Amino acid sequence: MSTVPVRLNVNGVKHTLEVEPRLLLVHALRDKLALTGTHVGCDTSNCGACTVHLNGEAVKSCTMLAVQADGEEVTTIEGLGTEDDLHPVQEAFWNNHGLQCGYCTPGMIMAGAALLAENPDPSETEVRHALEGNLCRCTGYHNIVKSILDAAGRSSSEVSA
């Protein structure tokens, strides 16, 4: 099957790839660009572990063809912040134990960061609904919600510990 060229601007770096049209964006990121922070957790667009930003909006990179991102800007977890310069949502996840096994975490952080970019002062309910496309099996979401509210400069109601 023939390949097609795809130009991607990923985390500020321009790439031109020759790919099969069926290549999913998540596999372009992981297998072609070695950006393995974006994960795959399901086959059906439910889990959100593959969430990246496409032109600043949260999308599921497992449900997009790489060719659909041709000419667009993609931000992955690796481009959000670094160890020495963490994004506030990353920092808040660390401070609030917002992760355990870490597998859903990049998707959660990207979803949280996209929410705050759009709505810098969300309520707890808004945070919970913003995460309805992201599954976590470890945390029960409590500390994830707390982390995102913390990144927004708010404390979660009724949060203990």
Partner 1 sequence: MSVAEQPSGNVGKVMRRKEDPPLITGKGRYVDDITLPGMLWASFVRSPEAHATITSIDTSAAAAREGITAVFTGADMTDVPAPLPMAWAPPGVQVNNPEHWALAKDAVKHVGDPVAVVIGEDRYAVQDAVEDVFVDYEPLPVVVDPEQAIAGEPFVHDSLGTNRVHEWSLAGGDVEAGFAEADVVVERRVVNHRIAGAPIECRGVIAEYRPGQLTLYSATQVPHFVRLFMALLLGIGEDRVRVIAPDVGGGFGQKLQVYGEELVACWASRRLGVPVKWTETRSENMSVAHQGRDQISRVRMGAKRDGTITAFHVKILADFGAYNMILTPLIPSLGAFVMGGCYKIPNVQTDIVGVFTNKCPTDAIRGAGRPEATQMIEVTLDQVAHELDMDPVEIRRRNFIPAEDFPAATATGVVYDSGNYDGTLDKLLEHVDVPAFRAEQEKLRSEGVYRGLGFCTWTEICGLAPSRVTGPAGVGVQAGLWESAMIRVHNTGAVTVYTGTSPHGQGLDTAFAQIVADKLGVDPAVVEVVHGDTAIGPEGRNTYGSRSLATGGEAVCKATDKVVEKVKQIVAAELEAAPEDIEVAGGKFSVKGSPDKGMALADVAGVAYIGAVPEGMEPGLEETNFYDPENFVFPFGAHACIVDVDAETGKVKVLRYVAVDDCGNPVNPLLIDGQIHGGVVHGIGQALYERVHYDADGQLVTGTFVDYALATAAELPNFETDRTITPSPVNSMGVKGVGEAGTIAASAAVTNAVIDALRPLGVDYINMPLTPMRVWEAINEGSAAS
Partner 2 sequence: MIPAEFHYTAPESLEDAIQALVDGGEDAKLLAGGHSLIPLMKLRLAAPSLLVDLRKVPGLHGIERQDGAFRVGALTPHRKLEFSPELGIVAKVAAVIADPQVRHRGTIGGSLAHGDSASDLPAAMLITEAEVTLQGPDGQRSVTAADLFLDYMTTAVGEQEVLTEIRLPALDGWGSSYHKFNRRSEDWAMVAACAVVKANGSTCEDVRIGLTNMAAVPLRATAAEDALRGQELSPENIAKAAELAAEGTDPPSDLNASTEYKKHLARVMARRAIADSLAA
The residues binding partner 2 (CB under 8 A) are 1-2, 4, 20-22, 24, 27, 43-46, 48, 51, 54, 57-60, 62-65, 67-68, 70, 111, 114-115, 129-130, 132-134
User: What's the CA gap between 62 and 24, in Å, rounded?
Assistant: 6
| Nearest residue to 111 via CA among 140, 137, 141, 138 | 141
| Nearest residue to 76 via CA among 92, 91, 56, 96 | 56
Least distance in angstroms from the C-beta of 69 to partner 1: 18
Least distance in angstroms from the C-beta of 131 to partner 2: 8
> Which 13-72 positions form the footprint of partner 1 (CB under 8 A)?
20, 22-23, 27, 30-31, 34-44, 46-47, 49
Least distance in angstroms from the C-beta of 121 to partner 1: 18
Q: How many other CB atoms sit within 10 Å of the CB of residue 73?
A: 16
User: Is there a contact between 41 and 104 (Cβ–Cβ < 8 Å)?
Assistant: yes
Least distance in angstroms from the C-beta of 85 to partner 1: 10
| Nearest residue to 51 via CA among 77, 85, 12 | 77
Distance of CA 115 to the CA centre of its chain: 11
User: Is there a contact between 120 and 94 (Cβ–Cβ < 8 Å)?
Assistant: no
Q: Which does 14 bind (CB under 5 to 8 A by kind): partner 2, partner 1, none?
A: none
Binding positions for partner 1, rule: CB under 8 A: 20, 22-23, 27, 30-31, 34-44, 46-47, 49, 76-78, 80-83, 86, 90, 93-95, 97, 99-106, 109, 124, 127-129, 131-146, 156-161
